[in-house]
Structure 1
Amino acid sequence: MPDTSKDRKTHLLDRLKRAILTQELRPGADLDEAQLCEDSGLSRTPLREVLRELAGLGYVELRANRGARVSEMSHTTLRDFFLAAPMVYGAILRLAALNATSAQIAALKAAQEEFREALRKGSTTDRTLANNRFHEITGEMAGNIYLLPSFHRLLIDHARISMTFYRPVTPEMAESVSEASQQHDAIIAAIEAGNEATAAQLAEDHWNLSRNQIESFVMPAGMDQPLGTLPRSTSA
């Protein structure tokens, strides 16, 4: 089938999301629109449609007369993130336990299997994206139009922080990663049983694992990936 502008837009959207979630494109990095047009085969108008969609989801910031940049992660935004995340995650899992369908539970179990496989054999990126997908499905289960935008925005920064969490450098960090997988299993069981109180408590417990890694993320040693640019696509 011929490559279409819609296909190229979708491909670029997915590439940019992945690059931002995994810090291949670092927080605050400027996006070179001319280079993105060349790499993606898109003209300026469809490119800007992609950037507007990313901005609406919280991945990028659009600045008048200055172009787009990856959403920042400053000490201020991290403070807000750590204040809001446990409340939103708790509400999401509580609603997931109330509303999850059998098909969604099956999808969550499949996502957990992919997460386990990523922990066994995958890279830091594989682990981060598999964890992100697990939590995305809990948001789908909750199905609340007021919570979901905030939850999706939190997941972006959660994934970026997880690039440190899922690159354990001490035995204690490795133990936390293993515990995260066990908590995923417990979350699935609580949702499948419709136990909203247990699900909400597990959200807090699960959140505390990530919270304990905040110092390693904000200190320079936790941010040791080089400032990069999005590699050129090898696909048409």
Structure 2
Amino acid sequence: MPTLKHPYDPQELPAGRDRKQTLGEALRYRITTMELKPGAVLDEVILAEEFGLSRPPVREMMRQLAAEGYIELEANRSARVSGMSYQSLRNFYLAAPALYVTTTRLAAENASAGEIEELKRIQLRFRAAIASRDVIDSVFANDQFHHTIGLMAHNPYLLPSLRRLQLDHARLGKTFYQPVNARMEQELEQAAQQHDDIIAAIERRDSDAAGILVREHLDLGRKNMAMYVTPEGMEVPESM
């Protein structure tokens, strides 16, 4: 299975590939996988040079990404990657169950056979990534898995909210793909199996089961996501 790493390298673009579109895809990838950290400054001059673009199309793409929630634009300031705060994390945990359950249930009702096959291909990439313990590829493939389910729901009102939710899901979930003990190893395999079960529920048009499975899937990662904002602390010598 080919790697997903650095899939939008401007030095390796096929002839005729739209460079502005590639810039957008590259920035979404870099932000989702935290190659670009929350709050990082985006220099449009450097991006224009990297992707062989003039500054106007770069600015246009920046505005589009800001509308999608990936970056923040303010007057007289450089563009920055969207930050993460207590409030944003709280909002994520409040909204995620309802949105994931709704889109997954609708996917079971509306997905085409071709879309289900694409979801299966993404799942193969996800399993390959976790088998090789490639954190970046795991995060990206998982993001693509749930985004594809959102597309399969065929509801334009839900997709923008899902896309914004997934950004913080990916950034929070990065710890999940860096298991540090046997329990986390087991839960990582359980998450992959849940993906398989969700696909099966969608394929047999069982929206109730699909909704239950994705809720369990989200709950599985919740405690490990909390590691993102809960440091272990420093050891203090007994003599102090």
| Rounded Cα–Cα distance in structure 2 between residues aligned with 1:202 and 1:67 | 42
Alpha-carbon offset, residue 201 of structure 1: 0.6
> CA offsets, 1:54-87, max 9 Å, x none?
1121111111111211011111100000110000
1:98-136 deviations in Å (ceiling 9; x for gaps) = 111111111111111111111112510011111111111
Bigger shift: residues 161-170 or 92-101: 161-170
Report which stretch shifted further, 31-40 or 186-195: 31-40
Which range is displaced more, 118-127 or 148-157? Answer: 118-127
2:70 aligns to what? 59
- For 1:193 and 1:129, the matched residues in 2 are separated by 26
The Cα shift of 1:177 comes to 0.8
3-state DSSP class of the match of 2:73? strand
Tell me how far apart the structure 1 counterparts of residues 57 and 223 of structure 2 sit (CA, whole Å): 41
- Structure with greater contact order relative to length (CA < 8 Å, sep ≥ 6): 1
* Residue 45 (structure 2) pairs with residue 34 (structure 1): yes
1:87 alignment partner in structure 2:
98
Equivalent residue in structure 1 for 2:165, among 136, 154, 160: 154
Give, in whole Å, the separation in 1 of the partners of 2:40 and 2:229: 17
**Are 2:121 and 1:110 equivalent residues in the alignment?**
yes
Question: How many residue pairs are counted as aligned between the two chains?
Answer: 221
**CA distance in 2 between partners of 1:105 and 1:38 (Å):** 38
Give 1:34 deviation, angstroms.
Answer: 2.4
Q: Is the 8 A contact 2:108 2:205 kept in 1?
A: yes
Q: Give the distance between the partners of 1:201 and 1:2, measured in 2 at CA.
A: 42
Give the distance between the partners of 1:220 and 1:30, measured in 2 at CA. Answer: 25
Which residue does 1:173 correspond to in 2?
184
- Asked if 1:187 corresponds to 2:187, the answer is no
Identity of aligned residues (%): 48
State whether residues 173 and 225 of structure 2, in contact with CA within 8 Å, keep that contact through their aligned partners in structure 1.
no
Choose which of 217, 224, 233 in structure 1 pairs with 2:228. Answer: 217
In the alignment, the residues of structure 2 paired with residue 38 and residue 122 of structure 1 have an alpha-carbon distance, to the nearest angstrom, of 33
Tell me the residue number matched to 1:227: none
> Quick one: which of 77, 99, 109 aligns to 2:110?
99
Is residue 75 of structure 1 aligned with residue 59 of structure 2? no
Residue 11 (1) aligns with residue 22 (2): yes
Structure 1: gaps of 5 or more residues:
223-236
CA separation of 1:28 and 1:195: change in aligned 2, threshold 3 A: same
Would the alpha carbon gap of residues 8 and 195 (structure 1) be closer, same or farther in structure 2, given more than 3 Å must change? same
The amino acid that maps onto 1:68 is: A
Partner-residue secondary structure (3-state), 1:63: coil
Q: 2 CA distance for matches of 1:146 and 1:11?
A: 25
Instruction: Give SS of 2:41's match.
Output: coil
Q: Structure 1 residue 38: deviation in Å?
A: 2.7
User: Once the 2 structures are TM-superposed, how far is the Cα of residue 97 of structure 1 from its aligned partner?
Assistant: 0.9
Q: What's the TM-score once normalised by structure 2's chain length?
A: 0.86
* Gapped regions of structure 2 (runs ≥ 5): 1-12, 234-240
